[in-house]
Amino acid sequence: MSKRLSNYIGINVLSAIGVALTAIVGLDVVAGIIDQMGDIRRNYQFTDVLIYTATKLPSTIYEYIPLASLIGCLVGLGMLATNSEVVVMRAAGVSLMRIVYLVFKPVIVFILLAALIGEYFSPYLDQLADSKREYLRKGETALDSTSGFWAKEGNEFIHFNAVFPGGVLFGVTRYKLNEQRELEEASFSSRATFNKTEGFWVEENVSSTLFVEQQTYTRKWVTRKWQTELTPEVLALNILPAKSLSAGSLNNHIEFLEERKADSAKYRLAFWSKVLQPLAIFSLVLVGIAFVFGPLRQATVGFRVFVGVLFGISFKLLSDILGPLSIVFEIPPILAILTPIFVCFVIGYILLRRAG
């Protein structure tokens, strides 16, 4: 009986979260495609927009799993309450805490899915999607400062049209300055590939211009060795936003920055946001359960969805506000992440105590 009840509640909640996630992600995908229609040009067609959107899909799923978990819980458990099945469970001696536990079990599936996506899929696919889009826009042509990525190393400023994962660069422009901050050399290579064994880049189709005493000298190479500390891993850390990096990469980069006394606040914020996401999901689900047993017991499905969206957006807005504020006022980022989670747990606990 207990196993059958567990499976029944689990299937209802799991399917409701799945439907909610599909609907939310679907709307976001359509909005993303429409938003990118203005970027279509000769080398970047509608099919490329679809490929870009599909490649970014795991990140979209990762972003909306907390909201979908809240809405799915409200709908799935709410349908059981509407059909008086929850009343029958309680009359059969199933405690409120037991029902809460049975609802939490299927949510763990989505927590594990989010962890898998955030740690192993999103960082690689986000870099691949953004790099391919920039490559289609600019390819191997010369520098366009309105797109691509910039980096600085010593007295050299470097621009990349596209940075593909695995150590492949397209459209590499390098500006070398002398001690007087005057341009000493400018070079361009159509492509550069990282040699993992030897630890250096190999530039291809290189054209270099030297500026010496108001004169210029041009040199060309089919291939040229480029020794630099800008490894593929370092470039990924610099071109991807902190929220797109894996927790492992964030932790390593935080240690690297702190060893050099550099500011790591935004990376610590992103790190704790990823690490504590399971707690955030659990807190939202707890609020959803409390709403079903409390003020939304007799509400319609549509109203429950509305409340779920409203509460989920409020949770995200609070997190988005507290995050930057913690950086500005030098408050530990972990507190900015934990505050909305704590508020949700308190609200859920109070409503469940009243319902129990």
Q: In the chain, where are the structural domains located? A: 2-136+276-355, 149-240
Q: What are the DSSP calls for 29-66, one per residue?
A: HHHHHHHHGGG--SSS-HHHHHHHHHHTHHHHHHHHHH
* CA triple 137-57-264, angle to 5 deg: 80
Residue 142's pLDDT is: 55
Alpha-carbon gap, residue 32 to 23, rounded angstroms: 14
Residue 146's pLDDT is: 56
Per-residue pLDDT tens, the chain, 356 aa: give them: 578 888 999 999 999 999 999 999 999 999 999 998 887 877 788 999 999 999 999 999 999 999 999 999 999 998 888 888 888 888 888 888 898 899 999 999 999 999 999 999 999 999 999 888 877 776 555 555 556 788 888 889 999 988 898 899 998 999 999 888 889 999 999 999 999 888 999 999 999 999 887 788 899 999 999 999 899 988 888 888 898 999 999 998 899 888 878 888 999 999 999 999 999 999 999 999 999 888 877 778 888 889 899 999 999 999 999 999 999 998 999 999 999 999 999 999 998 888 76
pTM confidence score: 0.87
Alpha-carbon gap, residue 103 to 242, rounded angstroms: 32
Would you give the distance in Å from CA 248 to the centre of its chain?
14
| Residue 117 DSSP symbol | I
Cβ atoms 223, 202 nearer than 8 A: yes
| Residue 260 DSSP symbol | T
Dihedral sign (CA 261, 263, 264, 269): positive
Residue 256's pLDDT is: 83
The H or E element that residue 2 is part of is: helix 2-36
Alpha-carbon gap, residue 135 to 61, rounded angstroms: 25
